[in-house]
Amino acid sequence: MTHGNQTIAKLILALILVGTSGAQTTPRSTGLKNGDVLSRSFLQPAAWESPARLRHGMIGGAAGTLRADSQGIEFVPRKGASMRWTFDQIKDLDLQQHRVVLLGYNNRKWDLPGTRRYDLEFENEITPTVVASLTEKMGRPVRNRVPDPDAPAITVIAVRRSEHFGGSNGLLRIRQQGIDYVTEQPGQSRSWRWRDLQTLSNPDPYHLLVFGYQDSYAFDLKGTLSQELFDHLSDEIWTHNENDIRGGLLSLPLVTPTKTERREDE
């Protein structure tokens, strides 16, 4: 190759290298891995959350975060996979200010009888508004120990709850949506929606028995309960139970009977 040809070849090579380096760009680092981007895109804002611990027996447990939203309840441990229950996957729910006991439909370990129970304790106090929202999403009776003492009430009656050991004094608050018992005694307050109640019994003007699907309370009334109000409460319970039954029947698929061919031996 002559000297002139070498010079031309070097010039062409230099132009190619310059063009190639100009076309290359260095992507900016976002600081997130692909998995982080994917997980964040599926996160939904929680209506309530708190540091929590999933208890295992009397001692031990797993620390993490408990979240609740319009779709269900989720526990995200510090280590391991998260657990999430939609409301149709929850068989029973016991809601307290710093604790929730959840009973699912999945089997217990080692083929033990019954379904699995999850006992979760949390730091942040859960508000009556959040609890009412969770119970409203449940299509079956629940145990609500966090009534709203300031919710509008039709009638308020001072009562005492009778128990075999001890008891508590408080207020029986009749609301449009159900019945609340509010007391300062820890763990004794209750809020029943109409669908949480089976029936009432009023053996005399000074006693009221409340029979719920999850628990039953016997009250000594410090004020009288009129027969008209008792009949109204009984009618509300009956109406809501009847509507739930009818709703379940209507949700069943309609089966149209078909004619069967006669057998030759008939």
Tokens for 250, please give them. Answer: 């209507």
Partners of 49 in the β-ladder = 67
The mean pLDDT of 114-139, rounded to a whole number, is: 92
What pLDDT, on a 0 to 100 scale, did the predictor assign at position 174? 96
Half-sphere exposure at residue 52, Cβ-oriented, CA atoms within 13 angstroms: 29
Q: What angle do CA 153, 159, 165 make, to 5 degrees?
A: 135
State how far the Cα of 143 lies from the Cα of 249, in Å rounded to an integer: 25
Strands 167-174, 155-162: parallel, antiparallel or unpaired by DSSP?
antiparallel
Cβ(188)–Cβ(181) below 8 Å? yes
Strands 90-95, 143-144: parallel, antiparallel or unpaired by DSSP?
parallel
What pLDDT, on a 0 to 100 scale, did the predictor assign at position 259? 53
Half-sphere exposure at residue 113, Cβ-oriented, CA atoms within 13 angstroms: 0
Cβ(147)–Cβ(130) below 8 Å? no
45-143 against 147-250: fold identical: yes
Cβ(171)–Cβ(156) below 8 Å? yes
Rg, C-alpha atoms of the chain: 32
Q: Where are the domains of the chain?
A: 45-143, 147-250
Backbone angles phi, psi at 135, to 5 degrees: -65, -35
What pLDDT, on a 0 to 100 scale, did the predictor assign at position 16? 47
Given a cut of 60, is residue 147 above it in pLDDT? Answer: yes
> Amino acid identity of 143?
R
State how far the Cα of 104 lies from the Cα of 196, in Å rounded to an integer: 18
The whole-chain average pLDDT of the chain stands at 81
- Residue 234 to residues 152, 156, 171, 228, 239: CA-CA distances in angstroms? 20, 17, 19, 10, 9
147-250 adopts what CATH topology?
Answer: PH-domain like (2.30.29)
Cβ(45)–Cβ(34) below 8 Å? no
The mean pLDDT of 108-132, rounded to a whole number, is: 87
What confidence tier does 4 reach under pLDDT thresholds 50, 70, 90? low
Given a cut of 80, is residue 139 above it in pLDDT? Answer: yes
State how far the Cα of 237 lies from the Cα of 240, in Å rounded to an integer: 5
Identify the helix (H) or strand (E) that includes residue 11.
Answer: helix 3-23
| Structure confidence by residue, pLDDT tens digits, 34-76 | 333 333 333 345 689 999 999 987 677 899 999 999 999 999 9
Q: Which of 217, 166, 209 is nearest to 190 (CA)?
A: 217
SS3 241: helix
The yes or no reply on domain 45-143 and CATH 3.30.43.10 is no
